[in-house]
Each structure stands twice: as C-alpha cells, then as structure tokens.
Amino acid sequence: MIEIPFLKPKVIPYEKYVNYLKYIDESKIYSNYGPLNRMFEDRILLEYFNGIGAVTTVNNATTGLILAINELKRPRGKYALMPSFTFSATPLAAMWCGLEPYFIDIDENTWEMDRDHLSSALNRLGDEVAIVIPYATFGNNIDLSYYSLIHQQGIPVVIDAAPGFGASDQGTQFGQDFSGAVVYSFHATKPFGIGEGGLVYSSDEEIIHKVRASGNFGYLGTRESKSMGLNSKLPELFAAIGLATLDHLSEKIASRLRVIESYQKELEAHNLISLGWKTQQTTGQIPHQFFSVLCPVGEYNDYYIKKLGEKKIQALKYFSPACHEQEQFIKFFHSDLTITEGISKRILSLPFWEGMEQDTISRIIKTLIS
C-alpha cells in the first residue's frame, strides 16, 4: 500500500467558490461563455497578462492545442516540429489537425527543444513545416525570443505550456506578449487546477477571436458555421472554481515554492549533486507540478522507482518512454535524439503536493541514496 503518493491534487474547496454559484442560479446559464466565464477571462487577462492581448478558456488543454494548431498552421505544410520529450497530447493534437509530428532533440540542461537542432530542421524541411510546437518543460519560463522571431517570419508557433500558468520571470506571467499562441492546462494536477479546463492566450487578439469561434462550432457572430469547429466551451461551474482559485492563487504558489525549497535543501544536505544527480536548469519562479531529477549517468530510473516503491513511495518518470518511442508515434521522422533518449532513461519525477512536509521530503531523498 502506498504511503507517499505521487500527487495529492488540491483543487480549491467548495466553501471558497460557493458564493460564485449564485451567479449560475441567477443567470440560468451553465455554459456558452456565460457571465462567470467572462469574469474569469477578464480577471486572468488583467491580473496575469496586464490587459495585453486576449484569452479564451477551453474545456481542456488538449482541445486548446488542437484549436490553436489548426488555426495557425500553414495550409500547405506537413510537419509539426516539437520535442519528443513531452506529453503525448502534443503530437496527438498535431495529428488531429492532419499533421505529422517531427521530433527534435532537447537541451541537456533546460530539457527544452534544442534551438540548433530546430533551426537545422527548419532549414532542411522549408515549406513542409506547418507549425512549431515548443514545450515549456515542466512549467519552465523558456526563452520565447527565438520563437517570437520565427513566428514573425511566417513560421507559426504554438507553445505547449500546460503546467505553466502561474510561472513568472521578473514578475511577468510566462507567455505575456507572445504573438503566437500559448496553451495552459487547468487540470486538477496542475499548479492552477480547477478540475478540468484550459486557456489559450495570444498578444494577437485576432488569433484568440478565431480560436474562440472554432471552439464554438465555427460560429462567427451568427448561427452559421463558417470554419472548422468543435465544442470547447468551459462550463460555468469550472469558471466559478477558477475565480475562487484566482482569489487564492498567490497562497497556492507560495506553498509550492516552499516544497521546492525543501527538496533543494535535502539535495544539498545529502550531497546528491556531487554524487552525480542533476536538476533542471530553470529561470524565474515556477510553481512546479512535480519535482524531477536525473539519476547519475550510467544508472536508470526504473531501479529507483522500484527502490522507492519498496518503501511505499510512488514516483513516476515523465517523460519515459519519450514520444518517439511510443507505439503511436514511432513511425514519424525525427532529428538525432541522443539527449532525449539519455534523459528519458534517467528522469525521475518525485512526489509533490501543496503543504508537503519536510519530513516526507527527507524520507524520499534518504530512500534514494540508502
């Protein structure tokens, strides 16, 4: 029986959002971009993006990726360039848009898509590139300047920032000012968890206008479908939970940062870095979804997952196997993936939740080295 689970999702409790529910009873609107959803979007745009650009909620981040990719992709393009070191939703979303994933290796320190490999692929594939889909690895504030440049040059970019809402650098929410599209997840396991849902942001309001219309059956001001669409609307109930979560998000982020600090202290106290363990090179403030480390070169994550499991501690290995090693994607082209394959064999994602106690973290780290 597991004593220390991998995650303990902590969606805001009922008493925190119950007052918002009266708006649903009064309006009798339960979806269809109702008043709570509009209030939720307005607050997010103002409080987290300084009123720059536009946002639209979606029923989940995978749907958000599909809508954004479908709206931005170059119509004659074939390939969606992305890291293999990402969640399977990323290549699946591209495939739903009629594209072929093309996997790019990652940087050995930041674990994000390697810019040199990406640039080489862009030059080699030329007009066959339909879109580029970077992954903001584990919610990191990846540098968007390069992606802004290629987007402005006509190669559309959609950022998969599923765990990235609440991440910031020098006080600026990750993704602000980006003129492509950025997709965030509000799944219960994410730092900003409301149960299920997501958000698409862009500094280009026209992109969001089109994504929103596509998420409403392709309606553009009339009841006539004018573009490829589906139903991606966020129910008012989840918007109510989202509003209450915004009321307390600073507390939730602070709690997660304390857990990260505790993990880092334990790594230092037990000299894991000097023993060959490695953490992700990150930038800014990240309210992590979980805490990931690499075991030493020549060792493998399966050994440590079994070791922790024997002590009733649940750990996982995001992302192993990497996408290009999975049955659904194994047939697709890719660059040299030496770094991806090495990291996917060593990655170890450790238990993490808000309010996690120091003693629990200490037990996990001691088990790794015992």
| Packing angle of the helix pair 14-27, 236-269 (nearest 10 deg) | 160
DSSP 179-204: SSEEEEE-BTTSSS-SBS-EEEEES-
CA distances from 192 to 36, 117, 166 (A): 17, 32, 7
Of 73, 190, 210, 345, the catalytic one is: 190
Find out whether 244 and 17 touch, Cβ atoms under 8 Å.
yes
Find out whether 179 and 152 touch, Cβ atoms under 8 Å.
yes
H helix runs in the chain, sequence order: 14-27, 35-49, 61-72, 89-96, 115-125, 145-152, 205-214, 236-269, 301-310, 338-346, 358-369
CA distances from 134 to 65, 129, 180, 186, 345 (A): 12, 14, 11, 19, 21
- Tally the C-alpha atoms within 13 A of residue 67's C-alpha that lie toward its C-beta: 35
190 assigned to active site: yes
Find out whether 193 and 11 touch, Cβ atoms under 8 Å.
yes
- Which residues have a catalytic role annotated? 190
